[in-house]
């Protein structure tokens, strides 16, 4: 859960919390503006709903899916975090969305929840090295994670990871 006044030691933790919250609710988070102090340090950061703004195509989403391609609705849902001394504080959070939220069981398909992490990559590469097919490899990961919703990546991600 992410809420106003939440304090974290690390900026990454605030993002993780918000991202996790977003996954449960059914939207995807994009990192947005960064405000810098005169000394170059970060004063605050803004994370927004993926439907923020009115641009039709989102260049951040390379592995496009239907969800990523949907046009934006200028949604105002967002979270702003402020850096104070050594801590990061959630200074503003807007919960309301002006669009239908994704079914939580499908939220893992949204962009910010579909990053192929190093741990995935290592697994994918070792599976591929055994000589099994892409489908077999992906199914093995699904089986190990006990379900598609727990794998964190899609079959397309799996394939793309090996193409790089």
Write out the residues near Zn ion by the rule CB under 5 A. 27, 49, 51, 75, 77, 97
How crowded is residue 125: how many other Cβ atoms within 10 Å of its Cβ?
12
Q: What residues form DSSP beta bridges with 44?
A: 35, 82
Cα–Cα distances in angstroms (integers) from residue 142 to residues 102, 119, 122, 147, 164, in the given order: 22, 14, 15, 5, 22
> For residues 27 and 47, which CB has a smaller minimum distance to Zn ion in the complex?
27
Q: Quick one: 77 or 151, whose CB is closer to Zn ion?
A: 77
**Closest approach of Zn ion to the CB of residue 94, in Å:** 9
Of the two residues 63 and 73, which places its CB atom closer to Zn ion in the complex? 73
* 47 vs 138, beta carbon nearer Zn ion: 47
First-to-final CA distance of the chain? 35
CB of 102 to Zn ion, least distance (A): 10
For 35, the 3-state DSSP assignment is strand
CB 32 → Zn ion: shortest distance, Å? 13
Largest CA distance in the chain: 54
DSSP annotation of 33 reads: E
Nearer to Zn ion, 15 or 27 (CB): 27
Rounded to a whole number of angstroms, the minimum distance from the CB of residue 133 to Zn ion is: 38
Please, what is the minimum distance in Å from the beta carbon of residue 11 to Zn ion?
22
Q: What are phi and psi of 143, to 5 degrees?
A: -60, -45
């Amino acid at each position: 859960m992410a809420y106003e006044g939440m304090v974290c030691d690390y900026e990454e933790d605030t993002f993780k919390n918000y991202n996790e919250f977003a996954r449960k609710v059914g939207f995807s988070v994009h990192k947005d503006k960064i405000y810098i102090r005169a000394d170059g340090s970060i004063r605050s950061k803004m994370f927004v709903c993926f439907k923020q703004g009115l641009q039709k195509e989102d260049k951040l989403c390379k592995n496009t899916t239907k969800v990523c391609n949907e046009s934006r609705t200028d949604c105002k849902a967002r979270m702003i975090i402020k850096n104070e001394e050594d801590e990061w504080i959630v200074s503003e959070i807007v919960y309301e969305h002006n669009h239908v939220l994704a079914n939580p069981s499908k939220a893992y398909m949204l962009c910010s929840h579909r990053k192929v992490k190093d741990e995935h990559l290592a697994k994918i590469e070792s599976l591929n090295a055994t000589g099994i097919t892409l489908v077999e490899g992906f199914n093995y990961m699904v089986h190990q994670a006990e379900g598609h919703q727990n794998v964190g990546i899609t079959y397309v991600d799996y394939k793309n990871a090996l193409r790089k």
